[in-house]
Amino acid sequence: MKVLEQKGIILRGPKVGRSYAFMLNPEFGWKGDVANLNEYTEKT
């Protein structure tokens, strides 16, 4: 997990309970509809 975070493949999110929430960097992969990807990229 540490190496993936250092390389920017996963992003650390807010703390949930005692551990952090992680998400996949959308530049490396996307799980979901293409329409949602377009909306996300327009926001950032």
pLDDT of residue 44: 64
pLDDT of residue 22: 94
- The secondary structure of 1-44 as a DSSP string is -HHHHHHTSEEEEEEETTEEEEEE-TTT---S-HHHHHHHHHH-
Q: Domains of the chain: which residue ranges?
A: 2-43
pLDDT of residue 34: 72
pLDDT of residue 31: 72
pLDDT of residue 25: 87
pLDDT of residue 37: 73
Tens-place pLDDT, residues 1-44 = 999 999 999 999 999 999 999 998 878 877 767 777 777 777 76
